[in-house]
Amino acid sequence: MKKVWQECIECHSTYDADVIKYKCDCGGLLEVRIDLESLDGISWERFRSRSFNVWRYFELLPFEVGDSTVSLYEGGTPLYKCERLGKWLGAKDFYIKYEGMNPTGSFKDRGMCVGITKALKLGVKGVACASTGNTAASLAAYSARARIPCIVIVPKQTVALGKLFQAIMYGAKVIRLDGTFDEALSLVWKVVDEVGIYLLNSINPWRIEGQKTVAFEITDQLGKVPRYVALPVGNCGNIAAAWKGFKEMEVVGLTDCVPSMVGIQSEGASPFVDLVKNGLETLRPVEAPNTIASAIRIGKPVNWKKALLAVKESNGLVAKVSDAEIIEAQRMLASLEGIGVEPAAAASVAGVKKLIENGEIDADETIVCICTGNMLKDPNPELIKGLEPIDVAPDLDLIRNIFTSLLNQ
C-alpha cells in the first residue's frame, strides 16, 4: 500500500486521505502527500513503456494499482521547439508545452481526472466548481464521463463563449452569476458542505496532484529539466502544481535539479505579481480585476501561499503584461508557429519576452512556456481587430483581382 495523506502547508497537521477538507483547521492550505521514499521501481524506462498521458506516472499519483480511474486520455500534450518564436523573443532554446491539446482544451483536465476519480472513491453525491470557464468545461466533461451530477457557476459578463458552450453541452447545470469569479468561488465554497456537494476548484488538493504531471511530461519529453518554466497565474494553483511535480521528481531520483518557476499575470489582475515584487506579507486582493485574458481575471487567488512558496523555493520570477502584449503574443504563437492558444495562455510568452528584455531571464538557457488553453475557447472579435476578413460579392473578376493582389503583397 502506498502511504497517502493530506497535510497543511503551514502548521503541518495531517489529515486522512479520505477526509473531505479544503483547508486545515488553522486556515492553511492543504496538500496531498505521498510517502515518496517508500516507492520502488520508479524509473524513466518504466514510465516510457506506458502510453503517454497523465497515468504514465502512476506511481507518483495518489492511487493504488487496481483503483478504477476516470480518464479521457488527458495529458500527453506536445512539446514544440519554437525557433521562429524564440527568435522573436530573443531566446536560444525555446519550447511551448501546448496544453490546448487536452480533451476539453485546457490543462484543467489533468487535475479533473484525478479530482473526479477521488470524488468517486469518496462516494460523493455530486460535484461543483466556480470557474472563469475552463474549470467548468473540464469538470462538466469528467462528471459526464463518471456519471456524477455537476453544478458550475461562472461570471456572466466575462465567461468566454466556447467555455460556456462546453459546460452546457457536457450536461452540467450552469449558473451564471452577476458578479466576479472571486465572488462565485466564495459563494460556492460557503454552500458546498451544507448541501453535501464536493468542491473541485484548485483549492481541492487532489486537483493539484493531476496537474503536477505537466512537470513530469516536460522533463520526459525534453530529456532534461529546463532552466525556466513559465506559466500564466490566476488562482495560483497550476504554478504550485508544476513546482510540486519538479520537486517530487528530484526526491525520487528521476532528476537532479529543478527549474525556476516564472509566473505571469495581467496588469489588470496582478495581485500575486504585486505580492512578490513588493515583498508583501499578505496578498492584497484586486477588487475589480480586468483583462482580456478571462482565465486569469482573478483578484483574490486562493492558492497564493502555495504559489509564493513555489516562486521562493525555485528562485523564481514574476512579471505582468498588458492586454496589448498578450494579444501580440497570441498572434505570434499562431502565425509564426501554428500554435493556437487563448489569451491567458499567451500571457506566459508575453511575460517571458519582457523578462528577457529586462535581462531577468538568461536567454541562452532552456525555456519552456506552458500554454494553458486552446485558441478555440475564446473567439472574441477584439482579438482579431485589424485582421478582419475581406468581404466580397460572388464576382469572378473581383475574386481573381483580390487573389492576385494578395499573393503579390
Which amino acid makes up residue 407? L
Outline where 151-212 has alpha helix (H). 161-169, 181-195, 205-211
Residue span 180-209 as binding mask against ligand PLP, x where in contact by CB under 6 A, dash where not: ----------------------x-------
The torsion of the CA quartet 200, 201, 205, 209, rounded to 10 degrees, works out to: 80
Nearer to ligand PLP, 254 or 367 (CB): 367
The least distance separating ligand PLP from the CB of residue 234, rounded to whole angstroms, comes to 3
CB 285 within 8 A of CB 261: no
Backbone angles phi, psi at 363, to 5 degrees: -70, -10
Range in contact with ligand PLP (rule: CB under 6 A) among 33-41, 174-182, 339-347, 379-387: 339-347
Q: 94 and 175 in contact (C-beta within 8 Å)?
A: no
Establish how many alpha carbons lie within 13 A of residue 353's alpha carbon, considering only the half-sphere containing its beta carbon: 19
Binding status of residue 296 toward ligand PLP by CB under 6 A: yes
Using the rule CB under 6 A, give the single segment among 73-81, 171-179, 226-234, 349-357 that binds ligand PLP: 226-234
Q: Does 134 bind ligand PLP (CB under 6 A)?
A: yes
User: Under DSSP, is residue 30 helix (H, G, I), strand (E, B) or coil?
Assistant: strand
Q: How far is the CB of 135 from Zn ion (least distance, A)?
A: 25
Whole-number Å distance between alpha carbons of 344 and 325: 11
Q: Give the residues across from 255 on adjacent strands.
A: none
Partner touching 8 among ligand PLP, Zn ion, none, CB below 5 to 8 Å by kind = Zn ion
- CB of 36 or CB of 231, closer to ligand PLP: 231
Length of the chain: 409
Of the listed pieces 16-24, 86-94, 168-176, 185-193, which binds Zn ion according to CB under 5 A? 16-24
Size of the site for ligand PLP (CB under 6 A): 18
342 part of the interface to ligand PLP, by CB under 6 A: yes
Identify which range of 19-27, 109-117, 179-187, 271-279 contacts Zn ion by CB under 5 A: 19-27
Cβ–Cβ < 8 Å for 252, 387: no
Q: Which of 106, 166, 255, 291 binds ligand PLP (CB under 6 A)?
A: 106
169 binds Zn ion (CB under 5 A): no
Residue whose C-alpha is closest to residue 33's, from 17, 56, 22: 17
Contact footprint for Zn ion (CB under 5 A): 8, 10-11, 13, 24, 26, 28
